[in-house]
Chain A
């Protein structure tokens, strides 16, 4: 059978190498290659989707031995948790390439970095070997560093360095945890499937490994109080970078939380479940309150990410604490769906903020106003995405958050106070829409153009999916549920 997973992962990398050799190619050609390659990658992931996942364990596994004596190998595969994220990744990258076709500054390097980042992201979600996972995890970091430092806004150097050092420091505990799991497994192997089947550590060692992993993923998610890199990086990153950062890279953290912490050290996670839950609740509330205080619209959306990812953490913690398999499956379904929804919604929002910034050269909400009259399509699209973000029924976040809260009520009712976050986000989005799109239209913005074709093409699939997931989530939930219901721990 054709190794579709590997082909899909490395197609962008091959594209990147090709672009590097074609230095004479004009800008349009470079972007066309980027769009073409990411489009092919998207088709590849759709093929993976059509092949589907099996009820238990991993499907479509491809394996090549690398260092047999230490049990390291190239292993990739998907299950119901990773496949939705893979689909999300390839879609967001494809749209980002379309959106970024306007980039004039060093287009070659831009496309090369984006393609490398795509390989890294797909690899992170599909890796079944811990070393491979770590490698992809870190490559994304390097690519994102260059992305922010090279194409970001005013204060990009500082933000990029902060992002790099922060997440590098964050990821090293994971390395040590991986080493610990490796030394604990018998026979020694880096095969994540083995680790999931027979968790290699127990007792104190498992708790230490869990703490290390939680630290890593908390930085990546990010969870209060290690979230401080996020606003800086988001605000300074170019629009494409922000979309990928929020839509894809934050999911590394939550995906790792499920794949590593929950599946490889389940007992320790159960013991620490209350604390993780508390962190999730605090993150959700803190994100909402902090977003309320922002004037910069990009910062605002960045903080709502903290809030939404907080719900994911709550969902995973509930899954660890739950004793009833049905509730556990519900909580995990909600968490994974929340990751996908957040990618779609926040991706759309960051695209639109990027479009606004291209037109107005500012992100300050106080300076904007009445734009709905000038740019109705952009305005209504933003309102739709914002309503989705605040969890309106019928839109993408609702089914996810609903399941998370449902499970929370059944297991740890106190944690339901996190629902307060929804109220606050509702308020802050209404305020933001009021400031930016309603009210008096300033003279300055009277000549502003509405969406171009390129921008409309970028947004349309996302808005469509936001509604599709919100109205009929089953087409994606079925796939997730197939895996979550079969999880044993």
Chain B
């Protein structure tokens, strides 16, 4: 076991994040309005810097910190890197958007920074308490961000809704955690694993089910998805973009870690729960998406369905499943960010529009944006050769490896419904009559994000997928070898 000093040294990226957050908060308080854009850009830079720092400090062997509260292993590094990158890009996107609206504040960036810190704790937590602390830090920042547009009634409503339901889910999670603690006698994953190996009692099953319910809230998987459409629609669009990506990565990795690490021995007990949630999410997500005319609501339902696919990979309970999950989440994150960059570009002279029909004629007014959005939509729909297909492909492969053929079939059928949802938007973009007024030209940030995410999705980035696969496999094997 490492001493206190080396523990803190291993947490250097987190510490840098905290200190810069505090300093920038103070700077923001005294420097006045003029410094706000600079501060937000600095935070983007810091997040990127810390992401690189995390990558540079990959430990040779998994490192247990604070007596087993956190673990710095390949999975944690992967999760931290992905979450930080997603946060940085999310903030960058928001920065470009809020600056034009003059609604940018110092606190906006600082809150995203602390949310990212929460995610870093989540992905490395190997202790029920650390897990909870990470989730709360992240969620609390998100609640505030959702309500951050105070002039909008919808934004306040979405913040409140998110907060109340989030608190409820935290309650469920804590209840599950306390049951697990009561029956295993340990908060640490190691201790829990030992207790399960000794005697897997009913209490632990009930505990993990409650814990899963709480976590399902956080990734908005059905039947715990009720808050998602309203919150996605009500929150300011850049905030929606942020929390449809980064927190999802962190929460999914957290679920994978807790289920694959101490609870893998109880696979038979939780597998059916995860499968049920997964199937429901796909059905509710895609069927709900068909009904929507508002593109943000559609994306909300789409994210519910996408979490269903992620849960298929988790249900497999194998190293292949974990590596498929990581690939899927990365591709999902890139695609979603790109799509939200497009949604942010839906701005007419009189303001933002959010209806799908407003996209009509985009192919004539802004062909480049139309092509980018089309590629991204085909990617979430899972049409080859665009990378999104390979995400689904690895998931189905994992399901079949784990003898869950029928789940793979179900996922395949559901993805056809999903394809219908997305192709409908494509149809509007390319073949519907354009309205009187065109969108204002896209900002540089949005253009860069759309272009780079679309390019990554294209087979032009053939190198990207093998690299991602290699990395995810190393991560998966490290968890399974160590756990």
- A–B touching in complex (CB under 8 Å): yes
Any B CB within 8 A of the CB of A278: no
Whole-angstrom distance between the alpha carbons of A169 and B413 in the complex? 7
Given A69-B473, A149-B427, A176-B412, are A134 and B384 neighbors across the interface (CB < 8 Å)?
yes
Any A CB within 8 A of the CB of B466: yes
Can you name the residue of chain A whose Cβ is closest to the Cβ of B459?
A135
Contact A172 B413 (CB under 8 A): yes
* Chain B: interface residue total (CB-CB under 8 A): 31
Contact A157 B396 (CB under 8 A): no
Cβ-neighbour of B416 out of A157, A172, A182 (below 8 A): A172
Any B CB within 8 A of the CB of A70: yes
Whole-angstrom distance between the alpha carbons of A70 and B327 in the complex? 14
Any A CB within 8 A of the CB of B183: no
Minimum CB–CB distance from B398 to chain A (whole Å) comes to: 10
Q: How large is the interface on A (under 10, 10 to 19, 20 to 34, 35 or more residues)?
A: 20 to 34
Whole-angstrom distance between the alpha carbons of A139 and B430 in the complex? 18
* Cβ contacts under 8 Å, A150 to chain B: 430-431
Contact A69 B430 (CB under 8 A): no
Given A135-B385, A142-B383, A146-B430, are A183 and B400 neighbors across the interface (CB < 8 Å)?
yes
Any A CB within 8 A of the CB of B227: no
Whole-angstrom distance between the alpha carbons of A78 and B481 in the complex? 43
Contact B408 A179 (CB under 8 A): yes
Whole-angstrom distance between the alpha carbons of A41 and B264 in the complex? 55
Minimum CB–CB distance from A429 to chain B (whole Å) comes to: 35
Over the window 167-202 of chain A, the binary record of Cβ atoms lying under 8 Å from chain B Cβ atoms (1 yes, 0 no) is 011001101100110110000000000000000000
Any A CB within 8 A of the CB of B25: no
* Cβ contacts under 8 Å, A47 to chain B: none
Can you name the residue of chain B whose Cβ is closest to the Cβ of A173?
B412
Any A CB within 8 A of the CB of B420: yes
Count of A-B residue pairs with CB < 8 Å: 74
Any B CB within 8 A of the CB of A138: yes
Minimum CB–CB distance from A406 to chain B (whole Å) comes to: 40
Any A CB within 8 A of the CB of B181: no
* Cβ contacts under 8 Å, A380 to chain B: none
* Cβ contacts under 8 Å, A164 to chain B: 419, 423
Any A CB within 8 A of the CB of B114: no
Any B CB within 8 A of the CB of A2: no
Over the window 441-471 of chain B, the binary record of Cβ atoms lying under 8 Å from chain A Cβ atoms (1 yes, 0 no) is 0000000000000000001001001100110
Whole-angstrom distance between the alpha carbons of A106 and B40 in the complex? 44
Contact A157 B378 (CB under 8 A): no
Can you name the residue of chain B whose Cβ is closest to the Cβ of A138?
B384
* Cβ contacts under 8 Å, A179 to chain B: 393, 396-397, 400, 408
Given A175-B393, A176-B396, A176-B412, are A183 and B401 neighbors across the interface (CB < 8 Å)?
yes
Over the window 68-98 of chain A, the binary record of Cβ atoms lying under 8 Å from chain B Cβ atoms (1 yes, 0 no) is 0110000000000000000000000000000
Contact B469 A69 (CB under 8 A): yes
* Cβ contacts under 8 Å, B409 to chain A: 176
* Cβ contacts under 8 Å, B389 to chain A: 135, 138
* Cβ contacts under 8 Å, B415 to chain A: 172
Whole-angstrom distance between the alpha carbons of A274 and B409 in the complex? 26
Over the window 207-240 of chain A, the binary record of Cβ atoms lying under 8 Å from chain B Cβ atoms (1 yes, 0 no) is 0100000000000000000000000000000000
In addition to A66-B462, A168-B383, 17 A-B residue pairs with Cβ atoms within 8 Å of each other are A67-B466, A69-B470, A69-B473, A70-B469, A134-B384, A135-B384, A135-B385, A138-B383, A141-B383, A142-B378, A157-B427, A161-B427, A164-B419, A165-B423, A168-B419, A175-B393, A180-B400
The 10 A-B residue pairs with the shortest CB-CB distance in the complex, in nearest-first order:
A172-B412, A135-B384, A135-B385, A169-B416, A138-B384, A67-B466, A179-B400, A179-B397, A168-B419, A168-B416
Give residues in B with beta carbon < 8 Å to A. 378, 383-385, 389, 393, 396-397, 400-401, 405, 408-409, 412-413, 415-416, 419-420, 423-424, 427, 430-431, 459, 462, 465-466, 469-470, 473
Give residues in A with beta carbon < 8 Å to B. 66-67, 69-70, 131, 134-135, 138-139, 141-142, 145-146, 149-150, 157, 160-161, 164-165, 168-169, 172-173, 175-176, 179-180, 182-183, 208
27 contacts between A and B (CB under 8 A): A67-B465, A69-B470, A70-B469, A135-B389, A135-B459, A138-B383, A138-B384, A138-B389, A139-B385, A149-B430, A149-B431, A157-B427, A157-B431, A161-B423, A164-B419, A165-B416, A165-B420, A168-B419, A172-B413, A172-B416, A173-B412, A175-B393, A176-B396, A179-B397, A179-B408, A180-B400, A182-B397
